[in-house]
Amino acid sequence: MTEFSYCMPSRIVLGKGSTARLKQYIQGDRVLIICDPFLYQSGAAERIGANLEGCTVSYFHAIEPNPSCESVDAAAEAARALGAQTVVGIGGGSSMDVSKIVSCLAGDEGSIYDYYSGGTRTLSPRTVRLICIPTTAGTGSEVTNVGVFTNKKKGIKMPFVTDQFWPDVALLDPELTYSLPPAVTASTGMDAFCHAIEAYWNKESQPICDALAVEAMRLVLAHIKAAYDDGNSETAREQMQLASLLAGVAFSQTRTTGIHAVSFPLTTEYGASHGTACSITLPAFIRISGEGAQAKMDRLCAALGYESIPQFADAVEALMVSMNMPTRLSQLGVQEDALEHIAQVGLGAAIIQLTPAVMNQETVTALLRSIL
């Protein structure tokens, strides 16, 4: 008996040069663009903003990786001061995640701390339009209702999930990814692969997402190395952005699993980028996935051209090595005596129990030890 629910309220627009049409998607004429300092200084954000002729456009460009609640509050203040009617998040996951909460807070009051991480207030219905424009091919944040923020007071990074965060428009322009350096292409692209496989083997998986996830994995395997080797390859860049999008839609319905749960301490405590922190455990999680999803993983292996789960895991690991990605925790500076702690923090994220294998202190520590 198949039962599922599927919800995708965001308009999705993908195409080379599509950001030139940004103006047709905005509401009102006061627009706050949120991005990181690099995108602003390089002129890329302003080139996109230049499509909003006749509008009052303001830029908040102090977004750091793993954005803090303090950055969110500062951006929300900028949105209120402008009287923003549309918030546009341009960038990787950080800028898009901040744009989600800022589009809510702009028309509401208070701090993110009032609503999240122990806060007791509930966000009012969002009145400000939200548009997300990814500049990497990986996070999928443009098509999810999740924002991940870092509570510096508690030293933790936690997801914030609300239907208010579905962007009104996800605008994907592959041209924006041409300038990504190879290491970012690799880590963000493998993040997309993690989204796809975690949607697929998820205990909450469902047929629509399965179909999207398998295609996303096929596209990553077919194009990531070409995008890594030649950033100007139009085909590889476009297909990687499509892969990221499909994977994003897939995991937006199912959420992720152990790979993302364990990535949180690797990012906050070891400084690994999100994509690196996720993909470093990917081969190990593939190896144990047969425990609860053997038949489904057999079908996946067949669809992707592998004979077995171990062969699939080895191929993914070899692909990562070919792109100079770390595959051992020790390469991030993790030592043996920290494994129990990393497992404990990972187990603190509820999504870890969506993994198709027994996840407890003993099994997660053993998994981490296998890739030390």
Token pair recorded at residue 51: 């499509």
Q: Closest approach of Cβ 233 to Fe ion, in Å?
A: 23
The contacts of residue 365 (CB under 8 Å, 6+ apart) are 339, 340, 343
For Fe ion, the closer of residues 142 and 191 by Cβ is 191
Backbone torsions φ then ψ of 134, nearest 5 degrees: -75, 140
For Fe ion, the closer of residues 60 and 201 by Cβ is 201
User: Using CA atoms, how far apart are residues 304 and 289, in angstroms rounded to an integer?
Assistant: 16
Q: Closest approach of Cβ 168 to Fe ion, in Å?
A: 22
* 130: helix, strand or coil: strand
For Fe ion, the closer of residues 173 and 191 by Cβ is 191
Residue among 167, 164, 162, 117 at smallest CA distance from 140: 167
Q: Closest approach of Cβ 277 to Fe ion, in Å?
A: 9
Secondary structure letter of residue 255 according to DSSP: -
For Fe ion, the closer of residues 97 and 191 by Cβ is 191
Q: Closest approach of Cβ 194 to Fe ion, in Å?
A: 6
User: Using CA atoms, how far apart are residues 119 and 272, in angstroms rounded to an integer?
Assistant: 28
For Fe ion, the closer of residues 171 and 190 by Cβ is 190
Q: Which residue has the tokens 């053997």?
A: 294
Q: Closest approach of Cβ 224 to Fe ion, in Å?
A: 15
For Fe ion, the closer of residues 191 and 238 by Cβ is 191
Q: Closest approach of Cβ 274 to Fe ion, in Å?
A: 6
Residue whose C-beta lies closest to Fe ion: 191
Q: Closest approach of Cβ 220 to Fe ion, in Å?
A: 13
Are 219 and 240 in contact by the 8 Å Cβ rule? The answer is yes
Secondary structure letter of residue 58 according to DSSP: E
Q: Closest approach of Cβ 114 to Fe ion, in Å?
A: 26
Q: Give the gyration radius of the chain's Cα atoms.
A: 20
For Fe ion, the closer of residues 191 and 317 by Cβ is 191
For Fe ion, the closer of residues 92 and 107 by Cβ is 92
For Fe ion, the closer of residues 85 and 257 by Cβ is 257
Per CB under 5 A, residues contacting Fe ion are 191
Q: Which residue has the tokens 């398998």?
A: 214
Q: Closest approach of Cβ 193 to Fe ion, in Å?
A: 10
Q: In the chain, where do the E strands start and end?
A: 11-14, 30-34, 56-60, 86-91, 129-134, 146-151, 156-161, 169-172
* 27: helix, strand or coil: coil
Neighbour tally for 154: CB within 10 Å: 11
Neighbour tally for 336: CB within 10 Å: 11
Are 164 and 172 in contact by the 8 Å Cβ rule? The answer is no
